[in-house]
């Protein structure tokens, strides 16, 4: 009898141990952890923001002023842009060579699906490489590094607490949402974006929605409190008249145009990617050449520098003075700059760069066809181009309605969904897919 009992105990023990190793959260525990991740995410975003702002100031203000005061060199003054971006590329390359390759957006999306968390080991390389990438003028934004840093923290916390894969994935989403809620200044939109981007045809990890929104809200509050940045629209678009059915039709048309522009961008992006494969194993050389390419583009069109958040304001306020041809040239050059940036090893996101392309082309269309209001042209193209690439129609509509501080959400939604439906077969993020069939027994 004792032998049999011992045998049964030995058989039951692994199951009991597995149960202890993989715990499911109660709803109250889930909300508590989401709050912790949100507050932490806001602090991380604050630290990253101040570090990035200081770095940009050093590269583009302090150093040029020092050169001007101490070196009367016309060559340095005239060619500083491409020299700086090339040095930035070299620093990115050295970072990748010595610290390893951190993941990109596709990597993050893949890990969210399986195993449900992002490895934290790649976080230091991502932080340093992205700071060099953005500070030295690359066409990539801070949303990607923030998503990876905060998302990896959420996943790490889930594993430290011995949670199931399902609960750990929710923690990862909370971290991603915290990053985007702070960065976009739109907590709901940021959370929805984090939940939409893993898929090509709509949000599927619905169980993470409430905790993700909570994390985004708390991160947003902490970030705004620490930085003093304003709440609400960051762009001052011209007010639009009361919407009519004509405006809705314009939104649909602009959505279709945005889908076509996105197709051109994806084809260009893939073409640059194929060219970069020839020297992909030479990380330092590739990144340095990438920095040089960004600098040469910016030498002729300085509007292509950086990731576009502040540059969009220039398009909104003074873009009409550029003229149609110049606006289209800026948009085309920005597509090339984004492609060179990301394929050369620079780290960062492409959401605001895509917004910038849409704003430039949208204004050009409004100038060519005055019956289209400039605000409608810009915002609808911003939405359509981004949605076609990222497959995030709901969150993009919410985010742009906040950033633009306009009452044209119905038009934005129409432009977004027309673009989305027209580009269901177009994919830039290859790891976007339907969620895996989750088997509770395995988790």
Could you write out the DSSP letters of every residue in 365-428? HHHHSTTS-HHHHHHHHHHHHHHHHH--HHHHHHHHHHHTT-S-HHHHHHHHHHHHHHTTT--S
Query: Which whole-number Å values give the CA distances from 44 to 64, 223, 327, 390, in the listed order?
Result: 29, 9, 36, 25
Whether 441 maps to a domain, the answer reads no
The kind and range of the H/E element at 14 are helix 2-21
Domain count, the chain: 2
Query: Which whole-number Å values give the CA distances from 230 to 57, 113, 141, 177, 293, in the listed order?
Result: 21, 35, 20, 20, 35
184, 178 in Cβ contact below 8 A? Answer: no
Residues 140 and 56 in one domain: yes
Residues 121 and 152 in one domain: yes
Residues 204 and 259 in one domain: no
Residues 358 and 285 in one domain: yes
Taking Cα atoms as reference points, which of 415, 383, 388 lies closest to residue 399? 383
Find the angle CA(153)-CA(187)-CA(404) to the nearest 5 degrees. 135
Q: What is the CATH number of the domain that holds 288?
A: 1.10.3080.10
d(CA 38, CA 177): 8
Answer with the one of 227, 255, 281 that is the final residue of a domain.
227
Alpha-carbon Rg of the chain, whole angstroms? 23
Return phi, psi of residue 114, to 5°.
-155, 115
Q: What residues in the chain have per-residue pLDDT under 50?
A: 1-21, 437-443
Whether 5 maps to a domain, the answer reads no
Residues 264 and 201 in one domain: no
Whether 10 maps to a domain, the answer reads no
Q: What is the pLDDT of residue 117?
A: 87
Residues 209 and 264 in one domain: no
pTM: 0.89
Answer with the one of 165, 193, 227 that is the final residue of a domain.
227
Residues 303 and 394 in one domain: yes
Query: Which tokens go with 225?
Result: 């409190």
Question: 349: which strand partners?
Answer: 141
Whether 440 maps to a domain, the answer reads no
Containing structural domain, residue 268: 245-422
Contacts of 139 (CB under 8 A, 6+ apart): 294, 304, 305, 306, 307, 308, 334, 337, 338, 340, 341, 350, 353
Residues 269 and 123 in one domain: no
Answer with the one of 227, 254, 278 that is the final residue of a domain.
227
Q: What is the pLDDT of residue 443?
A: 44
Whether 53 maps to a domain, the answer reads yes
Find the angle CA(372)-CA(377)-CA(381) to the nearest 5 degrees. 150
CA atoms within 13 A on the CB side of 344: 33
Whether 263 maps to a domain, the answer reads yes
Residues 268 and 409 in one domain: yes
d(CA 134, CA 347): 8
DSSP annotation string for 336-375: HHHHHHHHTT---B-HHHHHHHHHHHHHHHHHHSTTS-HH
| Helix-helix angle 245-276:374-390, to 10 degrees | 50
* Residue 52: other Cβ atoms inside 10 A: 16
d(CA 154, CA 208): 12
Whether 240 maps to a domain, the answer reads no
d(CA 419, CA 258): 6
Residues 196 and 256 in one domain: no
Q: In this structure, what is the dihedral angle of CA atoms 98, 103, 105, 107, given to the nearest 10 degrees?
A: 160
d(CA 91, CA 125): 12
Whether 3 maps to a domain, the answer reads no
Q: In this structure, what is the dihedral angle of CA atoms 284, 109, 188, 165, given to the nearest 10 degrees?
A: -130
- pLDDT for 330-367, tens place per residue? 999 999 999 999 999 999 999 999 999 999 999 999 99
Residues 79 and 168 in one domain: yes
Residues 166 and 295 in one domain: no
């Amino acid at each position: 009898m004792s032998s049999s009992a011992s045998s049964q105990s030995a058989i039951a023990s692994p199951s009991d141990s597995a149960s202890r190793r993989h715990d499911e959260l109660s709803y109250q525990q889930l909300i508590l952890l989401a709050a912790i991740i949100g507050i932490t995410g806001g602090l991380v975003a604050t630290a990253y923001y101040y570090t990035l702002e200081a770095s940009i100031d050093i590269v583009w203000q302090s150093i040029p002023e020092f050169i001007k005061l101490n070196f009367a060199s016309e060559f340095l003054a005239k060619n500083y842009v491409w020299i700086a971006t090339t040095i930035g590329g070299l620093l990115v390359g050295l970072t990748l060579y010595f610290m390893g390759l951190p993941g990109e957006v596709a990597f993050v999306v893949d890990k969210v699906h399986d195993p449900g968390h992002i490895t934290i080991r790649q976080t230091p390389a991502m932080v340093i490489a992205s700071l060099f990438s953005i500070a030295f003028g690359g066409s990539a934004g801070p949303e990607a590094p923030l998503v990876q840093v905060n998302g990896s923290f959420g996943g790490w916390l889930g594993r430290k607490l011995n949670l199931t894969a399902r609960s750990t994935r929710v923690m990862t989403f909370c971290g991603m949402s915290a990053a985007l809620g702070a960065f976009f200044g739109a907590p709901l939109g940021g959370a929805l974006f984090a939940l939409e981007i893993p898929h090509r045809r709509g949000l599927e990890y619905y169980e993470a929605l409430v905790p993700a929104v909570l994390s985004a809200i708390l991160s947003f509050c902490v970030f705004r409190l620490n930085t003093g940045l304003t709440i609400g629209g960051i762009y001052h678009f011209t007010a639009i008249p009361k919407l009519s059915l004509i405006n809705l039709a314009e939104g649909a048309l602009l959505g279709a145009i945005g889908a076509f522009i996105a197709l051109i961008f994806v084809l260009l992006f893939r073409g640059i990617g194929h060219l970069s494969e020839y020297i992909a194993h030479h990380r330092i050389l590739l990144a340095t050449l990438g920095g040089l390419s960004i600098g040469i583009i910016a030498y002729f069109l300085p509007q292509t520098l950086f990731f576009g958040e502040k540059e969009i304001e220039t398009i909104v306020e003074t873009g009409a003075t550029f003229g149609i041809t110049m606006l289209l040239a800026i948009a085309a050059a920005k597509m090339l700059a984004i492609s060179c940036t990301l394929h050369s090893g620079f780290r960062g996101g492409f959401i605001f760069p895509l917004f910038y392309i849409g704003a430039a082309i949208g204004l050009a269309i409004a100038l060519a066809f005055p019956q289209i209001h400039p605000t409608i042209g810009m915002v609808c193209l911003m939405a359509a181009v981004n949605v076609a690439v990222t497959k995030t129609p709901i969150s993009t509509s919410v985010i742009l309605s906040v950033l633009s501080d306009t009452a044209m959400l119905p038009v934005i939604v129409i432009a977004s969904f027309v673009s989305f439906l027209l580009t269901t077969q177009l994919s830039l993020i290859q790891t976007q897919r339907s969620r895996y069939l989750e088997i509770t027994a395995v988790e």
